[in-house]
Amino acid sequence: MQPHSLSTRLLASVSVLLVVFFGITIVALDLVFRDLAERSVRDRLEIQLLALITASDEDTNGGLQPAPQLAEIRFNNPGSGLYGEIVRSDGYRSWRSPSLAGTGLDFAPALKTGERRFGELRSADGTVVLALSRGIEWEFNNRKKRSFVYSVAESRDPYYAQLNRFRVQLFGWFSVLMLLLLGGLAILLRRLLAPLRRVEREIEAIEVGEMTELGGGYPRELLGITTNLNTLLRSERDRLQRYRNTLGNLAHSFKTPLAVMRNLLGASEASKLTIARQLDEQVGRMDDIVKYQLKRAAASGGTGLGTAPVDVRAALEALRGALLKVYMDRGIVCDLSVAEGCMYFGDREDLSEMAGNLLDNAFKWAKSRVRLTANRLASPAARRDGLQLIVEDDGPGIPEAERARVLDRGARLDERVSGQGIGLSVVREVAKLNGGTLHIGESALGGALIEIRLPPI
């Protein structure tokens, strides 16, 4: 089963939220509308009741009758939906509107003067009406006072029809609005997720060999992912190339020692001691070549992916302590200065390889003092700080004429400067794999100064 896309999941989630939100809104608006409509009906009944009272006049039976020309015309039409009644306090029905014929409506019982009653009533056929009754006291022309209950009612059918129309319109409006919102969100998501689709396409292109790494121009939120992926791709590509080069270098480097060994074994006139010495020399040379090539191949390349940042102070203090024990008889002083918060974003072994080889060389050639300095290299646009390592000693230093040879030497052992050979070669290789540089200069202590700069990324 193919998993749903982020767009589908988000649209489905938003649809549920919109249905819930609009549902609550519709219910709330429906309640408000019903309340307003009911109030509107009550206000109309109040007006009809006042109009009925105003139109009333005394009759010969001691009751009250509304003047036909003044009363609402719907009172006279059966089934009009507007009903009225005037009842005297003793129960005598002074007047009932012709519209009440056949409805079977029974209004409120006797009410006290000034008392009101509003509510629903049902006619004989089940029709619901809203009724309003009010008790009043009427003073006749002969100064005699009597209490009456005026009642008016209105059918709820117009109210229900109006409510149904409102609900249909409300559902229609919200349905159209929800479709517009979902459509707009779908278009917006398509634009917003376009970089992710581009990442997917470019990864597929990398898988089939059409591209070597992801392109640029991604938004800031995806920059970390694409940068790290490109770093990982470059690292793996460089690592594979290093393995291939290492095998080739080993095969090439072994040719000369093996040829010498073969010639020595075939020389019968040479003494056994001479042959053994020369064989030992060639085996040692091959051993150095293997060590050097293995160190080059083992360098991680400084991607920093999947590894925690290395505390530079702790790593350098451990190296310094180990070398002080090794060279204890020399009495060398090693000063260590590390900037606050200095971290190395890469493999711990790479840092140990670079700093350890430089420190070991410095201890070899120093007279009495070695200085190791580590600083942060920061950049506002970078996600990770860089690192500067400076190793100095008070030894004889490296002549300026030899510095180019030290840095540009090949993989063959006999081309390296004595005393700096494999260690400095590996340092340069590891620094380069980490995107850094190595510089050789003169120290204020009087000896060599070797600086490694790993730029921020």
Exposure letters 232-264 (e unless 16+ CB within 10 A, then b): bbebeebbeebeeebeebbeebbeebeeebeeb
Question: For position 190, what pLDDT does the model report?
Answer: 84
Mean per-residue pLDDT, 392-399: 91
Domain ranges of the chain: 7-162, 230-298, 310-454
Question: For position 419, what pLDDT does the model report?
Answer: 41
Residue 367 pLDDT greater than 70, yes or no: yes
pLDDT tens-digit series, residues 16-60: 888 888 889 888 888 888 888 888 888 888 988 888 888 888 887
Residues 6+ apart with CB under 8 A from 141: 58
Question: For position 407, what pLDDT does the model report?
Answer: 66
pLDDT tens-digit series, residues 265-299: 665 555 666 667 766 666 766 766 666 566 655 55
Question: For position 99, what pLDDT does the model report?
Answer: 86
pTM for this predicted structure: 0.47
Q: CATH number of 310-454: 3.30.70.60, 1.20.1250.20, 3.30.565.10, 2.130.10.30?
A: 3.30.565.10
Question: For position 417, what pLDDT does the model report?
Answer: 36
The token duo for 69 is: 């020309």
Domains 7-162 and 310-454 share a fold: no
Q: CATH number of 7-162: 2.40.160, 1.10.3470, 3.30.2450, 3.30.450?
A: 3.30.450
The token duo for 388 is: 């500067």
Mean per-residue pLDDT, 336-346: 91
Question: For position 421, what pLDDT does the model report?
Answer: 46
Q: What's the pLDDT band for 409 if we cut at 50, 70, 90?
A: very low
Question: For position 262, what pLDDT does the model report?
Answer: 66
Question: For position 291, what pLDDT does the model report?
Answer: 66
Instruction: Calculate ∠ Cα 214-217-219, nearest 5°.
Output: 105
For the chain, what is the mean pLDDT?
80
Query: Alpha carbon of 241 to those of 291, 296, 297: distances in Å?
Result: 18, 11, 9
Question: For position 300, what pLDDT does the model report?
Answer: 53
Q: What's the pLDDT band for 394 if we cut at 50, 70, 90?
A: very high
Residue 122 pLDDT greater than 90, yes or no: no
